[in-house]
Amino acid sequence: MFSIEDVVLPALEKPLYWLGAVTAAWLSLCSVYRLLAGFKVWVLGNGLLVSPTKLGKWAVVTGATDGIGKAYAEELARRGFSIVLISRSQEKLDEVSKEIGSKCGVETKTIAADFSSVNIYSKIEDGLAGLEIGVLVNNVGISYSYPEFFLSVPNLDNFIDTLVNINITSVCQMTRLVLPQMTERKKGAILNISSASGMYPVPLLTIYSASKAFVDFFSRGLQAEYKSKGVIIQSVLPFFVATKLSKIRRPTLDKPSPERYVAAELNTVGLQTQTNGYLPHAIMGWVSTALLPASILSTHVMGMALSQRARYLKKQKQG
């Protein structure tokens, strides 16, 4: 006698076999594609794209006197761009301008502007008038002085306005100023420096994290709008880089110097709309967003923030 299993199982074996074979083939193809794409981005790169001949004579960098901003200004000058440096302190601007001019032999221009204010953009527009801008690096930004609960952030009312003006409004307004001529020439690149903190919520740095998420979404939306116009708009999401803002003094493999980070990031322009900019950071981004469950990541990030907050407050009491 035949049981129902004798009839059903043979009928299922062949479809299940082909389903498994197709799934395995698809996963293999996806893996090969990812490996080839990663090789193209992180080994071959696209460094020849970011040049004055392909994008335009001038590069504009905000927050250009320290850290990542200064590194962008120096690297772009090394590649032959004339540089417009925009930051708050004219004294620091003059120092960086002189340094870049002597090292790279390119033309420089400075514009002193405090991005915590919103009435600066007519002055910046006048300063950029007549320049063929090939690259804009929207780098200026601020974070918390230490991790803190939202309602306990010192001088919260003013802090909200200042952070939004610097981290969000500046990106929108600077883009407004340079994008028209880029679309007219059908070439140019806008690099918006977001943060890995914008890839997922970071408790106790909530306003900062949310502002960087805005920069990321703003960049990706604009890229979809203006890709057909020949303009590259890239969202850059670094993890920790050894800068004053991060309070990291010594570079390591996963916390590179600004110079090392920027040299790697510029090779991704035109290859990735959204990038962590640096291979170790890309691996960290993949692990934190694709592998770790959101609840575990949130608990881990919250624990780190609470620990940093406790150390800061303890140090303040001792001081």
Contacts of 171 (CB under 8 A, 6+ apart): 138, 192, 215, 218
208 in active site: yes
Nearest to 236 by CA among 265, 201, 203: 265
Which one of 72, 144, 208, 261 is the catalytic residue? 208
> Could you tell me if residue 181 is left (phi over 0), alpha (psi between -120 and 50 degrees) or otherwise beta?
alpha
* Contact (Cβ atoms closer than 8 angstroms) between residue 56 and residue 188: yes
Tokens of 106: 């390119």
Angstrom CA distances, 258 to 92, 153, 246, 254, stand at 18, 28, 11, 12
Q: Give the DSSP H or E segment for 295.
A: helix 294-318
Q: In whole angstroms, give the CA distance from residue 67 to residue 85.
A: 13
Q: What is the Cβ-side half-sphere exposure of residue 228, based on CA atoms within 13 angstroms?
A: 3
Query: What number of H helices and E strands is found in the chain?
Result: 11, 7
> Which three-class secondary structure state does DSSP give residue 189?
strand
**Which amino acid, residue 309?**
R
Beta strand 232-236 with 82-87 is unpaired
Extract the tokens encoding 57: 């004579």
Tokens of 232: 């590259």
Pair 143, 245: CB distance under 8 Å: yes
Is the torsion defined by CA of 111, 112, 118, 123 positive or negative? negative
Catalytic residue set: 208
